Amino acid sequence: MSIGIVILAGGRGERMRMDIPKPMVSVGGKPLIDFPINEALLFLNKNNLKGGITSVTGYLHEMLDEYLKENFIENGVEMDLVLQREQLGTAHAIQMYVEQNKNAADYDYTLILCGDTPLIRERHLSKLWNILNQEKLDAVAASFLEDDPSGYGRIVEGDSGFHIVEEKDADEEIRKISEVNSGLYIVKTDFLLDNLREIDSDNKAGEFYLTDIFKDNRRVQAVLFDDPESFMGVNDVKQLEEAGLFLNFEKIDLLRNEGVRFIDSTTCYVDWDCSIGPDSVIHPNVIIRGRSRVDKNVVVESGCILTNSIVEEGGQLRPYSVLEEAHVGKNAMIGPFARLRPGADIGQESKVGNFVEIKKAVLDKGVKVSHLSYIGDAHIGENTNLGCGFITCNYDGANKNFTDIGENCFIGSDSQMIAPLKIEDDCYVGSGSTINKDLPKGSFAVSRSKQVTYKGMARKFLKKKGQ
Ligand code: UD1
Ligand code: CA
């Protein structure tokens, strides 16, 4: 059996008031449209179905098409793009799909998803699919009960079959119906094609409603789901926020089931594509974003923000550390108040302490940089100790230059390295040195002006009160 999957993403989404296509608006760390695409792929895989995915784009389609090409099609996802030049309604969008995708009519079934329902999961698609097959129906629509059904199409049951009345066209009685249409359908393709032809735009919105394929006294059924939050559509910024919160809740629940411990998950935000290993502990007020990967047995203390970063097993992020495209090796300790910028690569068992900023620098195993430092464009060899206030002077006003420090070095506090520079293994640099010449292996270097001491002269500068 084969199934064509259509994701409707052509609408203007004008209630969002944004200047990007709605399907590209981010929730849980990625565009809305990623969710139906990923769930559709899981559905095909789980049910062993042959099928293809088509996205119907329209409003600002150049931007959306490019996004889909770069992130799905070029990554091996088989997807067709169909253009709906004018947004004349959901049935018109399907009409465009049928006209432009030459395989559309060949699939036995057609599954239709909206690009703005990010909480629908593979399990919902599979349940709908099973009911369609078991009950030998021509079409099914997923429905749910909504206390405030405004904006949704209402499910009106017939003696058999049902039909859908959109909010705009509903009279007072129908508006009271709390069973609403989710916009998720599976339909026999023949049935879809037959009924699509009959749809007109004779309604208040003047749109071609796909919902008109459902009629009383047909072999169609509205399948009522008992988790209404999964079906919410994102039409305005309030719903976007709500969807984000549900998504976070769902994500945290999944992580808990995998053995991640939260002290107070209501204050934590974890993007959908992040992973956290078992036995890790996440303290309150932590944000983990993008595609971050936190391995097992990691402690993330309060106030930490991770973006697209990796923390390996046993790592410890102490409070208020901020990581962006950074990599932290096994058992390394970061913070409190550390800032790891893109390209910071901290070796296992290394220690990066408070008020340390690291950018584009590799620290090998066991490096210590415990206090108040800046390290940019550098490599620091194994077991080297960088004293308090150490700085790489990597930028000369025109170019970024590299500092390469070998292993087992001791660099005294308040030292600066004026890059480009190479310090070989086993060197010792005295505190307060400004180093601008390479050091051969095993060197001692100190560069500071000679101290002068005048006994008793302090009196001259320390004026006592009343003198
Ligand atoms: C639609 C349903 C409604 C249901 C609700 C669930 C219709 C007529 N109504 O209403 O019964 O309760 O979803 O969330 O289908 N789109 C296009 N081209 C168009 C119009 C829309 O691709 O010409 C896409 C949109 O981008 C969106 C989806 O179709 O992803 C749904 O459109 P939207 O305008 O959000 O429909 P609703 O008014 O929410
Ligand atoms: Ca909608």
Closest ligand 1 atom, CA of 180? 12
Q: What is the per-residue pLDDT for 116? A: 95
Q: What is the per-residue pLDDT for 466? A: 62
The answer on pLDDT for 464 being more than 80 is no
The answer on pLDDT for 467 being more than 80 is no
Residues 6 or more apart in contact with residue 440 via CB below 8 angstroms: 424
- Per-residue pLDDT of 384-414, as tens digits, reads 999 999 999 999 999 999 999 999 999 999 9
Q: What is the per-residue pLDDT for 356? A: 98
Helices 122-134/34-46 angle, 10° precision: 50
Cα–Cα distance list, 121 to 70, 153, 172, 291, 443 (Å): 24, 21, 33, 20, 63
Of 308, 328, 440, nearest to 318 by C-alpha is 328
Token pair of 220 as six digits: 């169609």
Closest ligand 1 atom, CA of 166? 11
Percentage of residues of the chain with pLDDT beyond 90: 96
Q: If you count them, how many residues does the chain have?
A: 467
For 62-124, give the secondary structure using H, E and C: HHHHHHHHHHCHHHCCCEEEEECCCCCCHHHHHHHHHHHCCCHHHCCEEEEEECCCCCCCHHH
Q: What share of the chain is helix, strand, coil (3-state, %, to 5)?
A: 25, 30, 45
Q: Is 92 designated active site?
A: no
- Per-residue pLDDT of 373-383, as tens digits, reads 999 999 999 99
The answer on pLDDT for 446 being more than 80 is yes
User: Closest ligand to 88 CA?
Assistant: 1
d(Cα 212, Cα 215) in Å, to the nearest integer?
7
Residues 6 or more apart in contact with residue 133 via CB below 8 angstroms: none
Token pair of 395 as six digits: 């930028």
Helix, coil or strand: residue 388: coil
d(Cα 428, Cα 446) in Å, to the nearest integer?
9
Q: What is the per-residue pLDDT for 129? A: 98
Stretch 153-167: mean pLDDT, rounded? 97
Ligand 1 pocket, Cβ-based, cut-off 6 angstroms: 8-11, 56, 58, 84, 87-90, 92-93, 114-116, 152-153, 164, 166, 180-183, 209-211, 233, 235
User: Closest ligand to 114 CA?
Assistant: 1
Q: Given pLDDT bands bounded at 50, 70 and 90, which one contains residue 442?
A: very high
- Tell me the average pLDDT of the chain: 97
- Per-residue pLDDT of 245-287, as tens digits, reads 999 999 999 999 999 999 999 999 999 999 999 999 999 999 9
Q: Where in the chain is the domain with CATH 2.160.10.10?
A: 260-445
Stretch 107-112: mean pLDDT, rounded? 98
Q: What is the per-residue pLDDT for 101? A: 98
Q: Which of 163, 327, 371, 379 does the annotation list as catalytic? A: 371
Q: What is the per-residue pLDDT for 12? A: 85
CA of 70 to the centre of ligand 1 (A): 25
CATH number, domain 260-445, options 2.160.10.10, 2.60.40.10, 3.10.440.10, 2.60.40.1180: 2.160.10.10
Measured by CA distance, the residue closest to atom 33 of ligand 1 is: 11
In words, the CATH class of domain 2-231 is alpha beta
Token pair of 29 as six digits: 């760390």
Q: Where in the chain is the domain with CATH 3.90.550.10?
A: 2-231
For 240-278, give the secondary structure using H, E and C: HHHHHHHHHHHHHHHHHHCCCEECCHHHCEECCCCEECC
- Per-residue pLDDT of 225-239, as tens digits, reads 999 999 999 999 999
Whose structure tokens read 């430092």? 373
User: Closest ligand to 231 CA?
Assistant: 1
Element (H, E) at 393: strand 391-393
Helix, coil or strand: residue 444: strand
Measured by CA distance, the residue closest to atom 8 of ligand 1 is: 209
- Per-residue pLDDT of 306-346, as tens digits, reads 999 999 999 999 999 999 999 999 999 999 999 999 999 99
Token pair of 398 as six digits: 């025109």
The answer on pLDDT for 368 being more than 90 is yes
Of 428, 425, 424, 426, nearest to 412 by C-alpha is 428
| Contact (CB, 8 A) for 215 and 198 | no
